[in-house]
Homo-oligomer: A and B are copies of this chain.
Amino acid sequence: MRTNARGPVQPRERELADRLHSAAIHLLRRARRSDPLTGATPAQLSALSVLMSGPKTLGDLAAAEQVRAPTISRLAAEMERIGLIRRRVDPGDRRVARVEMTAKGRRVLGKGRELRIADIEGRVRRLDRPEADALERAVGIIEGMLRD
């Protein structure tokens, strides 16, 4: 493979995609470190954030989280056990389980978001003005990239 001082030769778009991917991974790894302080696990917090918009069937939840049914089934069982969600059998189709957040779930989600965002916010605050402007613009661009 050809290389130069900056690493392997590759199209600019690929290198940029690569760095963006890597930055996202490391950003989230940091942010997740505060999750244990909420008493909930990352997967539980993520599921709660999906339930923010209202009750969901376990199937809907699995789709939103992009995981298989057994993963959600186990996650929901534990979340119910510790009181983050409550479940009801759908009266119209008794195969279906609907779950929704409890007040405790809402509190835990709020705290988890607070902590995660706080870590990133602390880093953002250390940027100077032009850097923050550039970041803000780029976040808008990324949001646009993901909208399709």
Query: Which residues of A come within 8 Å of B, CB atoms?
Result: 1, 7-8, 12-14, 16-33, 46, 49, 52-53, 66, 106, 110, 113, 116-118, 120-121, 123-127, 131-132, 134-139, 141-143, 145-146, 148
Return the chain B residue nearest A31 by Cβ. B21
Would A27 and B32 be within 8 Å (CB), given that A123-B146, A145-B124 are in contact?
A: no
Return the chain B residue nearest A14 by Cβ. B121
- A120 adjacent to B20 (CB under 8 Å): yes
- B142 adjacent to A1 (CB under 8 Å): no
In the complex, what distance in Å separates the CA atom of A142 from the CA atom of B135? 8
Contact of A13 among B30, B121, B145 (CB under 8 A): B121
